[in-house]
Amino acid sequence: MQKILILFLATFISQSSWAKEELLIIQSVSNTKRTFVIRKGKAEGILVHQESLFTNEKFSLSARAIEVTRDYSLWQISDTRATVPFQKGETVNYTNTIENLYTEIPLLRFDPKELAKEARERNRISQLRPEKWLLRGNLSFTLSESITETQASLESSRSGISFEAQRLWSFHPKMTAGFGLRYDQENTSLTEPNIDIPTTRILGIADFIYHFDQIGESRNHLYLGLGIGIGTSVTQVDEATSSGLATLLPSARLGYAMALSNGMSMVVETIAESISSSETFEDGQQQNTNLVNAKVAVGIKF
């Protein structure tokens, strides 16, 4: 008898330790009131056919996961005679096992306003962009160029590459700010005379991004960005070198982010930007350059 009691207690304690409770928000409820969606999927251990417990202040029900994606899951209530008592946006208590059926209602009856406030804050934080760093490469082509002390009749073309590294801060589910460094290497090719003029820039940059809604149940989405920057510019013409200040004001980008995992995304962008530089040669002669560039970029956020 004593062995049976010990076995029973060990089983009870083990099952209790397996139970995982958390507050979450109902993302949507079907018109039939038979199914609902939560923001919790394979990435957090949800499995198809898993049965779990959902509780609010008045109701407690068990439901079974019938469809599961990386970040979302669709649940159907186990009782075929019942309907979902929750509303879209409502805070409920989730338990990954139905063993604690009789302990869930008292949990939410204890100061439900505070629990709901805490759940909303957790939900807001969970919706912030998890990526903290951005590495990006760009190809650029100059659409418009004006240079002082240069004959307007000279035919030229300018193209280049640039590399960026940024630290990202997500301060709102739809807003992200990035600060970092950018390295530019451009080349201007003159037809007559046949001369290549390289320009190197190093800029400190800041980007502000607005994220549109996610596409379907994926984390893929479009976004718009505005950027500014300031730094140094160095241009070499034959054996003469000029250097000075360069400003990026502004850059505008349209991008598409493709989620590779829960904390990593690939980005593809089209960009238009305006760059001005004021450089001085060793003999004191000053040269001002104004550029309008079109760019395409590919990067990784992690």
Domain boundaries, the chain: 2-127, 133-301
- Average pLDDT of 112-138? 73
What is the token pair recorded at 285? Answer: 């002669």
pLDDT for 276-290, tens place per residue?
Answer: 999 999 888 999 999
Is the entire prediction scored with pTM above 0.85? no
pLDDT for 162-171, tens place per residue?
Answer: 999 999 999 8
Backbone angles phi, psi at 232, to 5 degrees: -110, 155
- Average pLDDT of 259-264? 86
Q: Does domain 2-127 have CATH number 2.40.10.340?
A: yes
State which fold the 133-301 domain adopts. Porin (2.40.160)
Which is nearest to 138 in space by CA: 294, 298, 275, 293? 298
Pick from 3-12, 167-176, 242-251, 256-265: least confident = 3-12
Asked if 300 and 267 count as a contact pair (C-beta separation under 8 A), the reply is yes
